[in-house]
């Protein structure tokens, strides 16, 4: 397992549609393990394969949606994720992204979603997520379609640090 470099805007891979995973061999297993290590080291709560310069439909998410601070966060590994249900209830929230350092934005997203995909061994899985976990899944799945949170944001601002150039959507 290794920590990979996280690519940042305006890197082209962040604006491309990622390819569907068709092979569940050792290369995919290494990618998933590296993505988890990279996400944790960043630190972040989610990471999509294009963010480590791999144009495949793979996301990792780690988040504790429990009120219990003692409970460890749950790790989700999803290959070829697809959001099959979006709630009609929307909620505004502030998002950031490891690929757009020092930029935050207010984004309206569905309060709950259902995500279908495959686990790391190719077995089907379905995840029902609400609140911040739903937001994280929407953010990460957007990455697989070349969509960045700034594309959906109503308001974007820079926090302390260097200026970051945001690449326009194609």
Could you confirm whether 89 is annotated as catalytic?
no
Catalytic residue, from 140, 154, 160, 162: name it.
Answer: 140
CA angle, 135 then 138 then 140, to 5°: 110
Report the C-alpha gap between 168 and 33 in whole angstroms: 31
Question: How is 152-170 classified by DSSP, letter by letter?
Answer: HEEEEEE-SS---PPPPP-
| Structure-block tokens of residue 6 | 């996280």
Tell me the residue ranges of DSSP E strands in the chain: 46-48, 58-63, 74-86, 90-97, 100-110, 112-118, 124-130, 153-158
Residues 41, 46, 52: CA angle, nearest 5 degrees: 65
DSSP letters for 93-108 = EEEEETTEEEEEEEEE
- Catalytic (active-site) positions: 140
């Amino acid at each position: 397992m290794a920590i990979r470099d996280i690519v940042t805007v305006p890197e082209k891979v962040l604006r491309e549609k990622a390819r569907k995973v068709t092979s569940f061999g050792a290369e995919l297993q290494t990618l998933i393990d590296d993505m988890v290590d990279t996400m944790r080291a960043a630190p972040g709560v989610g990471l999509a394969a294009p963010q480590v310069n791999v144009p495949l439909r793979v996301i990792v998410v780690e988040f504790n949606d429990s009120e219990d601070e003692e409970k460890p966060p749950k790790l989700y590994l999803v290959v070829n994720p697809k959001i099959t249900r979006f709630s009609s209830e929307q909620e505004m929230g502030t998002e950031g992204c490891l690929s757009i350092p020092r930029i935050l934005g207010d984004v309206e997203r569905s309060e709950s979603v259902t995500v279908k995909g495959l686990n790391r061994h190719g077995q089907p899985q379905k995840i029902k997520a609400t609140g911040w976990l739903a937001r994280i899944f929407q953010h990460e799945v957007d990455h697989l379609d070349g969509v960045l949170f700034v594309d959906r944001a109503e308001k974007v601002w820079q926090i302390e640090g260097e200026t970051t150039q945001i690449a326009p959507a194609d």
